[in-house]
Amino acid sequence: MIDEELKAILACPACKGDLLFEETRIICPACRKAYPIRDGIPVMLISEAEPWTPPQPR
């Protein structure tokens, strides 16, 4: 669980975009990167990010 105050100040390190928070990752929709959350700690390193694809509408 990431603290709400921390969520409010975090930004994507690659593009400074707004983030979406999931259980196990943090997603930047602007540059389509997903950053892992390990043991409750966000790993906001560009080298650790994985590509993210938005869900397709059905």
CATH of the domain at 40: 2.20.25.10
Instruction: State the DSSP H helix or E strand holding residue 5, giving kind and residue range, or none if neither.
Output: helix 4-9
Cβ-contact 28, 19 below 8 angstroms = yes
Are 31 and 19 a contacting pair, CB within 8 Å? no
Residue 56, in any domain of the structure: no
Question: What residue has token string 């509408």?
Answer: 57
In this model, does residue 1 exceed pLDDT 80?
A: no
Tell me: pLDDT of 4 over 80: yes
Domain membership flag for residue 57: no
What distance in Å separates the CA atoms of residue 21 and residue 7, rounded to the nearest whole number? Answer: 8
pLDDT, average across residues 19-31: 96
Contacting residues for 58 by C-beta, under 8 A, at least 6 apart: none
Query: Residues 4-8: what's their mean pLDDT?
Result: 91
What is the average per-residue pLDDT within 29-42?
94
Residue 25 lies in a domain: yes
Q: Which domain holds residue 23?
A: 4-51
User: Residue 10 falls within a domain, yes or no?
Assistant: yes
Residue 13 is predicted with a pLDDT of: 97
Is 58 within a domain? no
How many domains are there within the chain?
1
pLDDT at 14: 97
